[in-house]
Amino acid sequence: MTTIQLWENVPGLCEEVPVLEYYPAENKTSDATVVICPGGGYAMRAGHEGQGYAEYFNALGMDAFVCEYRVAPHRFPLPLLDIRRSIRYVRAHAAEYGVNPEKIAVMGSSAGGHLAALVSTYTAPVEFEGADELDAVCALPNASILCYPVVHLPDETNIAHVGSYRNLLGEDTDYAKYSPNLLVNDTTPTAFLWHTSDDAVVNVINSYLYAKALREHNIKHEMHIFPSGYHGLGVATNMPHVAQWTGLLKNWLIDLGWL
């Protein structure tokens, strides 16, 4: 694993310097890659949803990158800025890594799924962008992989993971501006989603709402809902039925022409 510093010498931006971790495949067979956002409620980053996923992609013959984005007490737009910067870095250095710049997926679990969906749907400029020429590179991924994602805003439906929104936004309660299912548009990339129907932390309806929005914009997607399984399963090696999602994801990548 190699650590890449995402910025250098940007006053006011990098008191805590976010990094991108590069996991090269030992037996590389694909020119596609994935940038991974670990989950953790925007309060921390779960290793099994970062390095654990990277090792899964390495076994498929794909390079992988893990974005160690900033979390609370850092607020929006810093996490979005970090994942945008990560995608831009990989795309700008695609030739160096042997990657097709049009085959970059973003992946996230739980709050990391929110961030992966946000970078796929939130297209407005944010503060601190434009620090250098790298910020001119497109930050929109070509596909997204969302694992039990936080999607919908806190409202009367009571399906939101309120803690994630509060950690991301602090005192800002204009939640609709940051709800990916409300931001899906015609440029939103294709997506693969999975969730468990009895997830007690992030309601499965979050995934349904994102898929519904994709369908309304005629964006191809694949979704799998498993009947049971606790939140934060990752590759779910201890739950064989749910662990099928990794094989289903592989098939989806093959269908995309990425494997």
Say which range, 15-19, 113-117, 126-130, has the weakest mean pLDDT: 15-19
- Cβ within 8 Å of residue 127, ≥6 positions away: 77, 81
H or E element that contains 66: strand 63-68
Q: Average pLDDT in the 239-244 region?
A: 96
Instruction: Say which residue the tokens 């890594």 belong to.
Output: 97
First to last CA, the chain: 22
**Sign of dihedral through CA atoms 49, 239, 58, 221?**
negative
pLDDT of residue 15: 64
Q: Average pLDDT in the 59-72 region?
A: 96
Q: How confident is the model at residue 91 (pLDDT cuts 50, 70, 90)?
A: very high
pTM as predicted = 0.96
Percent of the chain residues past pLDDT 70, beyond the cut: 97
pLDDT in tens, 134-191: 999 999 999 999 999 999 998 888 899 989 999 999 999 999 999 999 999 999 999 9
pLDDT in tens, 191-229: 999 999 999 999 999 999 999 999 999 999 999 999 999
| pLDDT for residue 12 is more than 90 | no
pLDDT of residue 169: 95
**How many domains, the chain?**
1
pLDDT of residue 257: 97
| pLDDT for residue 9 is more than 70 | no
Q: How confident is the model at residue 235 (pLDDT cuts 50, 70, 90)?
A: very high
Q: 35: domain CATH number?
A: 3.40.50.1820
Question: Which 8-state DSSP code applies to residue 98?
Answer: T
Structural domain for 243, as ranges: 2-256
Question: Which 8-state DSSP code applies to residue 40?
Answer: S
Distance separating alpha carbons of residues 17 and 143, to the nearest angstrom: 26
